[in-house]
């Protein structure tokens, strides 16, 4: 709605500005033609010539000619032109020329500049070689005609500038509002996730601690130790989770020192796939590898790179409701190694594709928290890929699955 009304305002303004410009230009042209007619009449009078003065023509936007029967002295012509321009209120810099068909050239040309600073500027009238091959002409050229007309349109120029400023401001505010809205949504989602993720271990620890204060439990060493180990394990899980979130959330590729070792991408993928097989078996899924790239050597950090593959595999399983069917393939394209991780999961809506690599972003699922996560996995993946001067993109269709495509530089 806002965009439609803004476009209407811009279109309206454009229409009126061009109308006003045309009007001013026609006024200017008429004044020039009248002046030229005046000049020619005067010359004819002086020469006691009774021919008519119909030979005034506009040959181009800023170029005018007038037929005469004889070449007038330049000084006379200039005086007459100035006189007529004064009468018609034209105060623009002009160039005039006198053309003689016998010599087939401009006999004389001069610029009359009211602004003394520009007197050295080259003459432009000589480039307007649009002269007919016969007769004598006087020619007029206005090098600054457009500026002169625009000067008459000050109101329109200012009003257009104000409209442009309003539009810039408007776009800025809308952008800011949208960003704020997204940020607050992401924040609310993150707090929700955090609560869900942390609540379970905290309440388990709480319950176990409470049990430990029960005298019956205290006397039974077996039960006591099992509660102690529950507390230990849950505490460990909690710490790991908090550490991971903090580590990734504060990940700054400029501060992390990456190792620069030669890696075999195929080897890393094969190892990650082997480790992942247990998860696949749990879900009754299928993981297949098509490692067809002839050159799989890249320079990078083994640990981070393994994490990248692992994160993508993790997501491919997490975001599929049926038994996951995952395929990892590699190919060579030019100097790049292309790795595709394809799944048959729930897919991602188009409107989210640009956001999923942002920190804390999770595709909104309302209040359902069936898949755990903090929206950090893909942020980490992208950060690492970019740090390796690679690229990452995603293709996805809702309900059909997603393909994450990594392009790395071969050695």
Binding site for ligand ADP (CB under 6 A): 315-316, 319, 343, 345-348, 356, 361-363, 373-379, 402
CB of 398 to ligand ADP, least distance (A): 9
CB of 372 to ligand ADP, least distance (A): 7
Query: 275 vs 25, 280, 307, CA distance in Å?
Result: 78, 10, 12
CB of 281 to ligand ADP, least distance (A): 19
Starting at the edge strand found earlier in the chain, the sheet holding 401-409 runs 286-291, 325-333, 336-342, 401-409, 391-397
Would you say 151 or 199 has its CB closer to ligand ADP?
A: 199
3-state SS, residue 331: strand
Measured between alpha carbons, how far is 175 from 318 in angstroms, rounded to an integer? 33
Would you say 141 or 379 has its CB closer to ligand ADP?
A: 379
Would you say 214 or 247 has its CB closer to ligand ADP?
A: 247
CB of 261 to ligand ADP, least distance (A): 26
Look at strands 56-60 and 63-68 and give their pairing: antiparallel
DSSP sequence for 257-320: ----EEEEHHHHHHHHHHHHHHHHHHHT-EEEEEE--S--EEEE-HHHHHHHHHHHHHHHHHT-
Which residue's Cβ lies closest to ligand ADP?
A: 373
Query: 8 vs 3, 15, 172, CA distance in Å?
Result: 9, 10, 19
262 forms bridges with which residues in the sheet? 299
CB of 316 to ligand ADP, least distance (A): 5
Hey, what are 91's tokens? 């105060």
CB of 239 to ligand ADP, least distance (A): 18
Contact between 284 and 323 (Cβ < 8 Å): yes
Would you say 298 or 356 has its CB closer to ligand ADP?
A: 356
Would you say 161 or 183 has its CB closer to ligand ADP?
A: 183
138 forms bridges with which residues in the sheet? 66, 98
3-state SS, residue 335: coil
CB of 395 to ligand ADP, least distance (A): 11
List, in sequence order, the alpha helices (H) in 47-114.
74-87
Would you say 111 or 362 has its CB closer to ligand ADP?
A: 362
Would you say 145 or 318 has its CB closer to ligand ADP?
A: 318
Contact between 316 and 276 (Cβ < 8 Å): no
Would you say 128 or 344 has its CB closer to ligand ADP?
A: 344
Contact between 188 and 214 (Cβ < 8 Å): no
Would you say 101 or 363 has its CB closer to ligand ADP?
A: 363
3-state SS, residue 334: coil
CB of 401 to ligand ADP, least distance (A): 7
CB of 405 to ligand ADP, least distance (A): 12
Measured CA angle at 291 (ends 285, 295), to 5 deg = 155
Would you say 32 or 348 has its CB closer to ligand ADP?
A: 348
Query: 4 vs 1, 11, 84, CA distance in Å?
Result: 5, 10, 49
Nearest to 137 by CA among 147, 148, 150, 128: 128
CB of 349 to ligand ADP, least distance (A): 9
């Amino acid at each position: 709605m806002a965009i439609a009304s803004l476009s209407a305002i811009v279109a309206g303004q454009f229409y009126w500005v061009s109308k006003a410009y045309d009007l001013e230009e026609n006024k200017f042209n008429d004044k020039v033609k009248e002046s030229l007619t005046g000049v020619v009449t005067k010359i004819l009078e002086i020469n006691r010539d009774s021919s008519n003065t119909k030979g005034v023509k506009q040959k181009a936007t800023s170029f005018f000619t007038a037929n005469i029967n004889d070449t007038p002295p330049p000084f006379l012509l200039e005086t007459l032109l100035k006189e007529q321009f004064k009468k018609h209120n034209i105060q623009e810099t002009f160039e005039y020329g006198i053309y003689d068909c016998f010599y087939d050239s401009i006999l004389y040309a001069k610029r009359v500049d009211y602004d003394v600073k520009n007197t050295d500027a080259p003459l432009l009238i000589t480039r307007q070689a649009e002269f007919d091959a016969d007769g004598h002409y006087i020619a007029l050229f206005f090098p600054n005609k457009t500026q002169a007309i625009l000067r008459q349109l000050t109101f329109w120029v200012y009003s257009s500038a104000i409209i442009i400023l309003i539009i810039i401001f408007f776009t800025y505010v809308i952008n800011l509002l949208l960003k704020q809205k997204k940020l607050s949504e992401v924040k609310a989602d993150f707090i929700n996730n955090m609560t869900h993720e942390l609540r379970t271990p905290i309440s388990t620890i709480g319950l176990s601690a409470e049990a430990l204060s029960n005298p019956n439990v205290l006397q039974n060493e077996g039960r006591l130790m099992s509660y102690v180990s529950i507390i230990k394990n849950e505490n460990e899980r909690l710490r790991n989770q908090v550490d991971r979130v903090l580590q990734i959330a504060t990940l700054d590729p400029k501060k992390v020192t990456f190792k620069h070792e030669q890696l075999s991408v195929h080897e890393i993928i094969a190892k990650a796939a082997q480790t992942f097989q247990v998860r696949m078996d749990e879900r009754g899924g299928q993981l297949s590898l098509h490692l067809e790239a002839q050159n799989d050597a890249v320079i990078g950090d083994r640990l981070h790179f393994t994490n990248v593959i692992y994160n993508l595999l993790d997501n491919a399983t997490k975001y599929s409701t049926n038994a996951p069917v995952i395929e990892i393939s590699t190919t060579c394209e030019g100097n790049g190694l292309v790795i595709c991780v394809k799944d048959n999961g729930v897919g991602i809506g188009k409107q989210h594709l640009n956001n999923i690599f942002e920190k804390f972003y999770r595709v909104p699922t309302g209040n359902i928290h069936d898949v755990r996560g903090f929206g950090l996995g893909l942020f980490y993946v992208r950060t690492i890929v970019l740090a390796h001067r690679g690229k990452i993109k995603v293709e996805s269709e809702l309900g059909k699955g997603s393909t994450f495509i990594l392009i790395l530089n071969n050695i």
